[in-house]
Structure 1
């Protein structure tokens, strides 16, 4: 062979999986996979529950917004906690909180007409756990494997969340169709407990140091960090936009499944699972890249492609084609998340890694706006025109940020 050192499949696999040589990484990977499986079940089951109970596009979108809104408040707190206390302990708390809330939702779902207001409140409570989980998981990965292997480790952990978690969407759809929503949510609660058990096995090498500052001081320092670091502010602003224009598509997928595709809960589960299957490819591709140097331009390209794919979802009325398009959407979603986590942590000192991921949680917390606007717009214009508008705007954002000199340097 000629042309330098071509990357073989064996080398690609070794690069992607070398993080497992680090002690305890396997337990983190397994716990994250269980957490993710349960979460995909939760997303699928609760979205369908609200849509099936109300028939309202807006309320279905609002239920998605309820999951993300708590991150606006919890993001800085979760980030500061992740820099102060045991990240393993925070992961266990997040999983147990999720299990408790899902157990309550499974009981509420038994009612013939579940009270939507109560469901929204419970989804808000469920949303409190997610910032704790994310703010603890991403820095803990680097604690376990080191900075040099962080990109591969973050990507392969994200891959695990999806390769194990993605079937949760389909499983939830089948359980809903064959049994009931309450069974699907109840199983998700049990799996959260399994995840908590795996997290308890982790032994982190991180040394906890005595803090001379209060939690409030650490939260304020995390907020100031955004103003001090232009790269951090830029990445967070981009995440707010992508969350609202791109990720908000998730909030109307039950409507796409029912009103456009004409499929039931199992078909909806397949649509969600297809998105997840694509995310597996996206994360594995990033893991195989190793310590790729041009991450900023790559992020801009992924954002533009994400927008095109959302437009594709808007246009397609063929179920099989929509499955393929949603696989691409999933790859883009996974790549955006992983690249943001990697770039944000690379832009700050080690002692701020938890807080910068906490700031990222705040950014996605603003994502409640997108589903509300999309749901309201879809109620007036229809789901397909609304998705086409959101996707087109996202394409323009991706092309625009690709011209930012600072992003091209990352």
Structure 2
């Protein structure tokens, strides 16, 4: 009854929101749902690499390579999105995503996939989805305006996380029944659905940038803003640290499932489903109760809970406690992203919002370093020790941020 009441309140809040009056925003959110079925690729890639190499380090390497383009191309993607129509960009990118997932599915389905395929092709797909996500988060405010920015970002995040939940369950089931190749075909179909929805978007948005700059000046303008705006620079650095310490724990989920709780690929899919469910719950709470004020303080509180959840996951005495910890951890991941993305776009002029999201993408693009580090740590000291170390350091970072970053607390 409590869950039903919560769901009814959330649905009522969404339906009455001025954000959903925008036809194009609803289309963007719908496309994001289908695109994020691709989050099931973490299940596919992690399990296939673990079975092939029996090494958590190699899982970390594979996931790291998939996300590496974010570090090198994040600001480039943001700059492009500030000077070119964002609608056309995301449509083109999604067409590429369909092709990449289909090729990977064919290779796996015919047993022709080598290790280098599993490292290279997902990296191409990761580049495409990184650019798409960078553009989407700026496009939201183009469509709904700064006034409804947090609400728009939360609803987009809700759609993305719901798609990720469906993707984790569906891809995990398909992986167990028909293999990884069929799982990639599911991802390709999800991208096709997203593309068909995206081509229906008509407007660039009332808050779209003027697009008066050029590619060369785009980088220098962002660099000048980072030097001038110390709060912006510090927040980008904080996002980078949170990514390295907290988000990289995702690389250990296959090992948590197989080596700690003796679960198969279906079990890993279930853990990833709770991973997505926690994000949905976190964003749903913000959608219901978030008023848009003191977002900086909210971000810092989330970091405290994030660190604690990693510690609990590392020392969980039962599978049920581990699932609760994963749910809390993923909720913190979703809220950390939501707060940091909204804060960064509030801190820059309108024509720099795409580049601000590019800087955010570059910051989270440090994940490959963290994936390698936590994978190596788990291989040497064990999964429990790796999670405990990361959780403890993240909690310390949250405490230091609360005490030292006064400007962030007041935003």
Q: Which moved more, 1:211-220 or 1:258-267?
A: 211-220
Offset, 1:326: 0.8
Summarize the alignment of residues 351-366 of structure 1 with structure 2, pairs less than 5 Å apart: 351-366=351-366
Q: Is the 8 A contact 2:14 2:20 kept in 1?
A: no
| Residue-pair matches, total | 402
Separation in structure 2 between the aligned mates of residue 82 and residue 305 of structure 1, nearest angstrom: 34
Aligned-residue offset at 1:135: 2.1
User: Structure 1 length as normaliser, TM-score?
Assistant: 0.93
In structure 1, the residue matched to 2:406 is 405
CA contact (8 A) 1:67 1:123 kept: yes
Preserved contact between residue 53 and residue 114 of structure 1 (Cα < 8 Å)? no
Partner of 2:89: 90
Does the CA contact (< 8 Å) of 2:83 and 2:211 recur in 1? Answer: yes
Aligned to 1:158: 157
Note closer, same or farther for the CA distance 1:16–1:383 as it changes in structure 2 (3 Å cut): farther
Q: Residues 311 and 191 from structure 1, CA distance in 2 versus in 1: closer, same or farther, beyond 3 angstroms?
A: same
Kept after mapping to 2: 8 A contact 1:16/1:284: no
17 and 317 in structure 1: CA distance in 2 versus 1, 3 angstrom threshold: farther
1 CA distance for matches of 2:76 and 2:83?
A: 11
Contact 1:152 1:288 in 2 (8 A): no
The whole-number CA distance in structure 2 between the counterparts of 1:76 and 1:176 is 35
Q: Secondary structure at the match of 1:174?
A: helix
Structure 1, unpaired ranges of 5+: 1-7
Equivalent residue for 2:144? 145
How far the C-alpha of 1:173 sits from its partner, in A, is 1.1
| 1:266-287 deviation per Cα after TM superposition (whole angstroms, max 9, x unaligned) | 1000101101101001111122
For residues 16 and 373 of structure 1, what CA distance do their matches in structure 2 show?
46
The alpha-carbon distance between structure 1 residues 104 and 94, as it changes in their structure 2 partners (threshold 3 A), is same
Q: 1:227 deviation in Å?
A: 2.1
Task: Describe the superposition over 1:350-390 as per-residue Cα deviations: whole angstroms up to 9, x where unpaired.
Answer: 10110100110100111111110011111111111111101
Secondary structure of the 2:201 match is coil
In structure 2, C-alpha distance between the alignment counterparts of 1:68 and 1:223, rounded to whole Å: 23
Contact in 2 for aligned 1:261/1:317 (Cα 8 Å): no
Asked if 1:61 corresponds to 2:60, the answer is yes
**Shift in alpha-carbon separation, 1:226–1:180, aligned structure 2, 3 A:** same
In 1, are the aligned partners of 2:84 and 2:211 still within 8 Å (CA)?
no
Whether contact under 8 Å (1:16, 1:152) holds in the other structure is no
Q: Matched residue of 1:109: which SS?
A: helix
Match of 1:313 in 2: 313
Q: Distance in 1 between matches of 2:407 and 2:326?
A: 31
Map of 2:328 onto structure 1: 328
Q: Which residue in the other structure is 2:262 paired with? A: 262
In the alignment, which residue of structure 2 is the partner of 1:41?
A: 40
Distance in 2 between residues matched to 1:118 and 1:205, nearest whole Å? 37
Cα distance in 2 for residues equivalent to 1:18 and 1:12? 12
Rounded Cα–Cα distance in structure 2 between residues aligned with 1:201 and 1:340? 29
Q: Deviation per CA, 1:166-199, whole angstroms, max 9, x where unpaired?
A: 1211111111111111001111011101101111
1:10 is displaced (CA, Å) by: 7.7
TM-score (norm 2): 0.93
Q: Distance in 1 between matches of 2:52 and 2:96?
A: 25
User: Which residue number corresponds to residue 134 of structure 2?
Assistant: 135
Pair 1:236 & 2:227 matched = no
Task: Report deviation, 1:155.
Answer: 0.2
Residue aligning to 2:386: 386
1:189 has 2:150 as partner? no
In structure 2, what is the Cα distance between the partners aligned to 1:112 and 1:99? Answer: 20
Residues 331 and 103 (structure 1), Cα distance of their counterparts in 2 relative to 1, 3 Å cut: same
Runs of at least 5 residues in structure 2 that lack an aligned partner in the other structure: 1-7
Paired residue for 1:253? 253
Distance 2:189 2:43 in 1: 16
Over 3 Å counting, the alpha-carbon distance change for 1:324 and 1:166 in structure 2 is: same
Residue matched to 1:3: none
Contact persistence 1:16–1:156 (CA under 8 A) = no
Say if 1:16 and 1:288, in contact at 8 Å, map to a contact too.
Answer: no
The secondary structure found in structure 2 opposite 1:176 is helix
Query: CA shift at 1:288, angstroms?
Result: 2.2
Q: Once the two structures are superposed, what CA deviation does each residue of 1:104-136 show, in whole Å capped at 9, x if it has no partner?
A: 221222355842222111122112113321221
Q: Using the TM superposition, give the Cα deviation of residue 317 of structure 1 relative to its aligned residue in structure 2, in angstroms.
A: 4.9
Give the structure 1 partner of residue 101 of structure 2: 102
CA root-mean-square deviation? 2.0
SS at match of 1:24: helix
Judge conservation of contact 1:16–1:290 (CA < 8 Å) in 2.
no
